[in-house]
């Protein structure tokens, strides 16, 4: 006997998919794909490399989303046929296969459903992530670098492009801070739930006595502004310093004279850029990130939600949102959602979609409770 009532389960799967199709607006998605395909086929597309990459990424993500919806509809149809054949032939193996397929379809529907929760004002934007080492000395700097690698690997695995914009190396090992862009549809909406203080507990590789060390790193996620946002910054409000950047460990290697530090005098907001090849490029990149941060500050002031939007993260005890414990046991746990994984190595290797999906659902639930 089957443990699943397929006469109830299959209509339930169809109903869930129908809801996702309505929220996604499949007709609008098809029109978007057609428009992007037209842009992608233009002969002069690659005359503007940045725009070409954005068009290509947007098309790839839109086609992937549409394909997943179409494939799910086909899988549900195939599932129904499979169940009918199993019943006609009294085939327990096919019935077991159908049950496994139900579980698999549910998982894919859950993943698609999470995407429908991304409806914030800036959720469709590219994201700019800044990671800063907090309390914990050299272990915290090493932790910051581990987090950077984790997010870069996640982005690579999920088809997002990345670009490191600024890197400040710690003297002994790791990073004091790093800023990088994650480009692709809904990058900000997806990654914004990662903002907060992250805590690492492990036997320190930098302690010759092998003691357990707790260290912290702050993750800030902001949306990248677009030209249509019209955030004007008077020149008199900006202080721009040019300085020489340095390579890992503070050594005089890979040095340039093109690094730029931009300070917005009215708010004290500071942005540094040093990973572009020229001072002009670093200045342009710094201005975009500065505009993004000032845009968030403006919106936060209007909504009285500055801490939530701008990420007032202290990177110390009492403020953590996720713990990565490597000793005395192995566990990564999100303290907001209670979602956890028992394999920290895979998490640090970029397997964080479970945490992100749980965070998006948690945020949506919090929003309902506040309404």
**Sign of the four-CA dihedral 251, 254, 258, 259:** negative
**289, 179 contact by CB (below 8 A):** yes
For the question of whether the overall pTM of this predicted structure is more than 0.85, the answer is: no
Pairing of strands 175-183, 340-341: unpaired
Closest CA to 17 of 108, 146, 118: 108
C-alpha span between 102 and 140 (Å, rounded): 44
The fold of the 127-226+313-370 domain, in CATH, is Alpha-Beta Plaits (3.30.70)
Question: Which residues belong to CATH 1.20.58.410 in the chain?
Answer: 6-117
C-alpha span between 150 and 105 (Å, rounded): 28
**Sign of the four-CA dihedral 305, 324, 319, 214:** negative
**Sign of the four-CA dihedral 58, 59, 64, 69:** positive
Question: Which residues belong to CATH 3.30.160.20 in the chain?
Answer: 235-307
pLDDT in tens, the chain (371 residues): 457 889 899 999 999 999 889 888 899 999 999 999 999 999 998 888 878 887 887 888 788 889 989 999 999 999 999 999 988 988 889 989 999 999 999 988 988 888 888 888 889 889 999 999 999 999 999 999 999 999 999 999 988 889 998 899 998 899 999 999 998 888 999 999 999 999 999 999 998 888 899 999 999 999 987 755 667 788 889 999 888 766 665 544 445 567 899 999 998 999 998 877 788 888 888 888 888 888 878 777 765 543 454 455 555 555 689 999 999 999 999 999 999 999 999 999 999 999 999 999 999 888 766 65
The pLDDT score that the predictor gives to residue 227 is 58
- Alpha carbon of 45 to those of 30, 42, 48, 86: distances in Å? 21, 5, 6, 52
- CATH number, span 6-117: 1.20.58.410
In CATH, 235-307 is 3.40.50.720: no
């Amino acid at each position: 006997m089957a443990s699943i009532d397929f006469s109830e389960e299959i209509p339930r799967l169809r109903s869930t998919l129908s809801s996702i199709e309505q929220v996604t607006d499949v007709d609008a998605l098809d029109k978007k794909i057609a428009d992007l395909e037209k842009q992608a086929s233009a002969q002069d597309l690659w005359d503007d490399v940045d725009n070409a990459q954005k068009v290509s990424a947007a098309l790839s993500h839109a086609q992937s989303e549409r394909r997943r919806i179409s494939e799910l509809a086909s899988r549900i149809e195939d599932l129904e046929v499979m169940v009918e054949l199993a019943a006609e032939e009294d085939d327990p193996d096919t019935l077991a296969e159908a049950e496994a397929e139900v579980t698999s379809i549910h998982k894919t529907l859950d993943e698609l459903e999470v995407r429908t929760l991304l409806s914030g004002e800036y959720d469709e934007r590219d994201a700019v992530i800044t990671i800063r080492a907090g309390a914990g000395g050299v272990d915290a700097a090493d932790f910051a670098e581990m987090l950077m690698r984790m997010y870069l690997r996640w982005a690579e695995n999920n088809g997002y492009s990345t670009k490191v914009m600024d890197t400040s190396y710690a003297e002994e090992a790791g990073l004091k801070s790093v800023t990088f862009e994650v480009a692709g549809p809904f990058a900000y909406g997806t990654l914004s739930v990662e903002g907060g203080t992250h805590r690492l507990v492990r036997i320190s590789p930098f302690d010759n006595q092998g003691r357990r060390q707790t260290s912290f790193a702050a993750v800030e996620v902001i949306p990248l502004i677009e030209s249509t946002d019209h955030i004007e910054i008077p020149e008199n409000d900006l202080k721009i310093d040019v300085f020489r950047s340095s390579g890992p460990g503070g050594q005089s290697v890979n040095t340039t004279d093109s690094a730029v530090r931009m300070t917005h005098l009215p708010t004290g907001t500071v942005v540094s850029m040093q990973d572009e090849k020229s001072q002009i490029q670093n200045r342009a990149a710094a201005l975009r990130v500065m505009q993004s941060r000032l845009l968030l500050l403006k919106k936060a002031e209007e909504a009285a939600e500055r801490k939530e939007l701008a990420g007032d993260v202290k990177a110390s005890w009492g403020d953590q949102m996720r713990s990565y414990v490597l000793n005395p046991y192995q566990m990564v746990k999100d303290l907001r959602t209670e979602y956890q994984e028992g394999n920290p190595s895979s998490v640090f290797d970029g397997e964080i979609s479970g945490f992100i999906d749980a965070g998006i659902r948690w945020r949506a639930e919090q929003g309902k409770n506040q309404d």
